[in-house]
Amino acid sequence: MAFELPKLPYAYNALEPHVDAKTMEIHHSKHHQAYVTNLNNAIAGTDAEKLSIEEICKNISKYPMPVRNNGGGHFNHSLFWTIMAPGAGGEPTGDLAAAINSAFGSFAEFKTQFAAAAATRFGSGWAWLIVKDGKLAVSSTPNQDNPLMDVAEVKGTPILGIDVWEHAYYLNYQNRRPDYVTAFWNVISWPEVAKRFSAAK
Ligand code: MN3
């Protein structure tokens, strides 16, 4: 069964002014679609066709580079669309808020560490909030790698991620990646992140 581009759970312009409609449209309908198409081509006729994208990521060292790049691209963007929402932002509550305070000291300190991971990832990649051995941690990965992958420097289950490839922000923010990262706090769906946190624990 071939992988498919998931439908965006909101309109392309729903995250404005933080993420502009044109960026969302190209990002979802062109970039993510290309990862899905290229992943399907790369695994056609192999056993990987029977696996979930998570299963493929967890054993990614066994696959050729096109599976790593496009499979990672498919997993990462599928997560990315769902952890953003219109009218979102604010702060997490409940167990997730407690876990953030426990791991980082405060929500403000978590924001500082996450923004630093996003800003200092050289070139293209992602910054993450992950569950690692039952605790929260911040990490980043190059290209379309992710913390599920057996090749990741820091492994865990990602519950929040920000795409820092230029295609994610260049139309609106040009070279100002830190401004895009600052705007990202306004579109994070903490209820969705909390759901992923509960599932990952
Ligand atoms: Mn992207």
Whole-model pTM? 0.97
- Going from the Cα of 115 to the center of ligand 1, the distance in angstroms, rounded, reads 17
Can you say whether residue 155 is alpha, beta or left, with left for phi > 0 and alpha for psi between -120 and 50 degrees? Answer: beta
- Going from the Cα of 98 to the center of ligand 1, the distance in angstroms, rounded, reads 30
Rounded Cα gap, residues 160 and 76, in angstroms: 10
- pLDDT of residue 4 exceeding 90: yes
- Going from the Cα of 94 to the center of ligand 1, the distance in angstroms, rounded, reads 30
Quick one: tokens of 39? 């992943």
- Going from the Cα of 96 to the center of ligand 1, the distance in angstroms, rounded, reads 26
pLDDT mean over 73-82: 98
* Tens-digit pLDDT profile for residues 182-201: 999 999 999 999 999 999 98
**Which residue is listed with tokens 């876990």?**
99
- Going from the Cα of 76 to the center of ligand 1, the distance in angstroms, rounded, reads 8
Dihedral angle, C-alpha 149, 153, 156, 161, nearest 10 °: -80
Q: What share of the chain is helix, strand, coil (3-state, %, to 5)?
A: 50, 10, 35
* Tens-digit pLDDT profile for residues 129-171: 999 999 999 999 999 999 999 999 999 999 999 999 999 999 9
pLDDT at 1: 63
Rounded Cα gap, residues 31 and 35, in angstroms: 7
